[in-house]
Structure 1
Amino acid sequence: MSSSGVDPQRVGHTAESELLARILPRFRAADAALVGPGDDAAVVRAPDGRFVVTTDLMVHGPDFRMAWSTPFELGWKAAASNLSDVAAMGARPTALVVALAATADLPVEFLEQLADGIREGCAAMAPGCGVVGGDLSVSATLTIAVTAFGDLEGREPVLRSGARAGDVLAIAGSMGRAAEGLDLLFRRGVDADGHPDAEATALLRAEYPDLIRAQTAPRPPIGHGVIASAAGATAMMDVSDGLLLDASRLAAASDVRLDLSSTALEPHGPFALRGGEDHSLLAAFPTQDAVPAGFTVIGQVVPGRGVSLDGTDLDPRGWDPYSSWSGAQG
C-alpha cells in the first residue's frame, strides 16, 4: 500500500504507452535535440562533426540496493555516472538515452521519481543536457541502462594516453567519500540478519547525510571536464573504480608512472586510495601553473610504470562491484 492507503499502480498492470505518457513529460528536452522522444530514433545536433558516446549499466544487486537508495537518487546516480565519463573526455554532455527494465510489481510512481532524478541530475550537473529517447521492458531484476552523448566543441578529446613524465597529476571532486558512505551502509544500514534495511538507512541519513548522499547520489564536477581540456590537460579519466585502480589504468595507457603524494591524500581519509564511485576527474597537466581552479594536485607523472605513493610501489587494487557486493544479499 502507498502512504495514502491506496494500492499503487504497478508496472506489470500498465500498458507501455501509458508508462511512457507518465514518464516522458518528466524529462527535460535536450538543447541539442532536433527530434526527441516519439519517433523511432532521436536526432541530435553534433556541431563539431564528432560526438562522444558512453554507456553505463546499473543492476539491482551488484550496483545498488533499493533499501539504500530512493528512486530519485537512482535516477540522479545513473545520470552522474554517465555524465562524468563524457566530461572525462573533455566534452560537454548533450543528451541521454535511457532504457529501463523494471519488475512487474514495481509501482509506476517509482519510475516517475527515477525520471525526476535523471532530469534534476542533468539540470544540476550538465545544464542543457536531457533525455532524447530510450526503451522500457519488464525483468525479474530492476536494471537501468543509460547512454550519454557529448560535444567536443572543436577541441581534441582528452585521452588516458597523453600523460608524460614531468606532468602534474591533479583531481577534481571527492576521494573516498562514496566508499565511506557505502561502508556505513554495509555496517549499519542493515537489519539483524545483515540484509539492507530502509529503516536503518533512514537513521544513517540523519546522522551522516553527506556521506550517504555521496554514495547514493554523487555530484561529480562535470563542468570541470571542459575546464581541464581548455587548460591543456594531457590526459584525463573518470575515477569510478577507486583512485588507485583508475590511476593505474591511466599510467598503463600513457606508459608512465604516477607517483601520488601521501600529504595530499591524507586529509581525504582511509578510503581515498581504493574507494570507488566518487566519479571525480583525474587529470594530468603540463605544469603546476596550468592546473585550473577546482583541481587539487595529488602527485607527479614520472618515468616508469604503475602507481606509487611517495616513491613506494602500490598494488593497484580498487573497486570491484562483483566482489564488493558479495555477501550483501537481500
Structure 2
Amino acid sequence: MNELNIRRRSVLLGAAAGAAGLALPQLALAADTYPERPITFICPWPAGGTADASMRAICQTAARVLKQPIAVENRAGAAGMIGAKAIASAKADGYTIGQIPISVTRFSQLGTLQADPRKDFTYLARTSGQTFGIAVQPGSRFKTLQEMVAHAKANPGKVTYAHAGVGGATHVGMEEFALAAGIQLNAIAYKGGAAALQDTLGGQVDMLADSSSWAPHVEAGKLRLLATWGEQRTPRFKDTPTLKELGFKVVVDAPNGIGAPAGLPPEVEKKLREALRVAVLSEEFKAVADRIDAPVMYLDGPDYRKYVGQVYEHETQLIERLKLKELLAKG
C-alpha cells in the first residue's frame, strides 16, 4: 500500500470514528428529552367499554408523569388483535404504545394475530385482570355449581352455555373447567359478550360464561352467580366461591398489560415503565378498576415479559387439549 493510500485510509477511518462518536451523544440526547411530543395509545377495544375506561385512567396519570399528552386511539376488532397488530407494527420510538391483551399468546398460535408475542413487543407493565364467572337465571335448576356438574355428568352435552366467541377467554376458560370437572358442555358461541348476556337473560341458554357483564344483573336479582374464576373471591361478590376452592384447579383472570413495538430504546423504555408503574398503582386507577371488578395485578416490564412466556406455553397445551384449531376451522 503506497503512502497516498495509507493517508486516504486514515482520513476515512478518522471520519467514521467521528461520526460514530457524534451518534452516541445524539441517541443519549433523544432519550434525555423524550417525550418531546404527544404519545399515541392504542386501545384494542371500542370506546366507552370497561377496558377503554381503565386504559384512559392510566393514560391520564402517566401523561402527568411524562409531561406530555397521551391520546387514546381505539382500534377495535378481531377480539383485540387488530389493535395488538397495530402496536407490533408501529415505529419503535416510544410515541406509540398500547394495551396488549394476554390473549395474544393464544391467537398468535391460532393464526388470528400475525405477530409473535415472544419477540414482537416491548412489555412495559402488566395492569389488571378481569373477573370471570358462571351465571344462571334465578329460576335455574342449578342452585350451586356442584348441582350443575352432577347434572352435566348424567346428561353429557345437554347443558348449554353462552360465551363471547370461539378461542376467547370465556370459551377457553369454560372448556378448561369442563375438562377439570370431567363433564361435556354444549358451548354456544356469540359475537361478543353483550349478545351472550341477552340470550342468557332471555332463557335461550342454561348458563353464561363471561367477565363481569353479569355483575349488575346479579345485584338486581336477574341472574345468580354460581362461581368466579379468580385466584381469590371477588370483594363485590364475596359469598360466591371460586372454581379453585370448589376443587377445580382452574384460575382464569386474563390480565392485560401495556407494551410497545419491539426494539424500543432502553432509556425510553425505562421512562415509560416508571410512568406506568406510577399510573397503575395510583388511587385514580384503583378506583376505576374497583368499579369494573378488575383486580390490579401490576408487574414491571421484565417480569411481565416472563409471565407472557409462561402463558404462551400454557396456551400451547390448551390449544392442543381443546382442539381449538379444529373448532375454529369449523367456524
Question: TM-score band (shorter)?
Answer: under 0.3
Could you say which structure has the greater relative contact order, defined with CA pairs below 8 angstroms and 6 or more residues apart? Answer: 2
Task: Please state which structure has a larger fraction of its residues in helix.
Answer: 2
Task: Please state which structure has a larger fraction of its residues in strand.
Answer: 1
Please give the TM-score of this superposition, normalised by the length of structure 1.
0.23
